[in-house]
Amino acid sequence: MWMKVDMQAGRRLTAAVTVAGLILMGGIGLTGCQTNPYTGRSQLLITSVDEEMKMGAQAYDQIKGDPKVIVSQDPREVEPVKRVAARIIEAAKRSKYAEMAKQFQWEVKVIKDDKTANAFALPGGKIAVYTGIFPMAKTEAGLAAVMGHEVVHALARHGAERMSQGRLTDAALGVTGAAIGAGSQNPLLGQATMAALGVGAKVGVLLPFSRKHESEADYVGILMAADAGYDPRESIALWERMARASGGGQAEFLSTHPSHGTRINQLRIWMQEAMSIYQKRSPVPALVLPAIGGR
């Protein structure tokens, strides 16, 4: 009986979200839909690009302004990151996201945190790379796979998609003054907005996107890295190292990330397309990234 009641409640909530979404989209005068130019996936988007870029800039300033964050000034760490970022950004401006990439006000920072193996790119082109990713990436080609992936999250508006879903859920549940909806007016962004953008309220906590977003960023990210002149095969080596470092990682059904094995298998499927792009470009040397923390 409890299962039947739960299913009925679920259907009512789904209907409520749908109705609320239609009302909300009509109220703010947005079409609410976009098709990903690479995968053909339909996306529900009820935030504007300008709003997203403002929130991205605010989140970036918020992170940089945290007294616990150390922005690296070491040229050994900064120069390779900026070199890779410049090539990835130029590839983005040639991509199917070119119009969006040309709107972004790109900025790149290296955060000195040898224990955080990650990076992020926020709406508007605000990029941060944590030094802890260097041992995983190994070379600038490996870093290009990481940065291509993160830049695609921003260009494909994955954070905006999550914000839109949050707004519709809040509308369906009758929540007013939602943190996500009010994010662009607040001097400090709340946890809901930061989470939607993929960054935790606590610095160093980087939150996963959904599996479909992660896979989409993996796919387009290696195409972008290849177009930038970096060997896309380095993406497989990167995830193999990530798998070894995590001891095999969490079971896929327990995580919003695809498992390392799934990611590697998908990358192998997409590799022929990526290599066809790479072979038309002048290859960039896979310079070794600096050692950190004795590694």
| Crossing angle between the packed helical segments 75-94 and 211-227, to the nearest 10 degrees | 90
Look at residue 104 and tell me whether its pLDDT is greater than 70: yes
Interhelix angle for 49-64 vs 158-172, to 10°?
Answer: 100
pLDDT for 166: 65
Provide the H-helix boundaries in 132-280: 134-137, 140-155, 158-172, 179-182, 191-197, 211-227, 234-245, 260-278
- What are the start-end ranges of the H helices in 173-259? 179-182, 191-197, 211-227, 234-245
Whether 21 shows a pLDDT value over 50: the answer reads no
Q: How many beta carbons lie within 10 A of that of residue 269, not counting itself?
A: 9
Contact 196, 159 (CB under 8 A): yes
Q: Average pLDDT for residues 233-250, to the nearest whole number?
A: 81
Q: What is the pLDDT of residue 172?
A: 45
Residues with a catalytic annotation lie at 150
pLDDT, one tens digit per residue, over 32-47 is 788 999 999 999 898 8
What integer pLDDT is reported at residue 276 of this predicted model? Answer: 98
Q: What is the pTM of this model?
A: 0.79
Among 23-32, 79-88, 248-257, name the most confident range. Answer: 79-88
The beta-strand segments (E) located in 56-123 are: 107-111, 119-122
At 224 the pLDDT is 98
Q: How far apart are CA 286 and CA 19, in angstroms?
A: 52
39 and 216 Cβ atoms separated by less than 8 Å: yes
> Measured between alpha carbons, how far is 157 from 147 in angstroms, rounded to an integer?
16
Element (H, E) at 175: none
Residue 41's pLDDT is what? 93
Residues, the chain, total?
295
pLDDT digits (tens, 9 = 90+) for 59-72: 999 999 999 999 99
Cβ pair 180, 193 in contact under 8 A = yes
C-alpha–C-alpha distance, residues 232 and 238, integer Å: 10
Give pLDDT, residue 187: 54
**Sheet containing 119-122: order of strands:** 107-111, 126-130, 119-122
What are the structural domains of the chain? Answer: 49-159+195-207 (3.30.2010)
Average pLDDT on 72-80 reads 97
State the Cα–Cα distance between residues 78 and 132, nearest whole angstrom: 13
Q: How many helices (H) and strands (E) does the chain have?
A: 12, 5
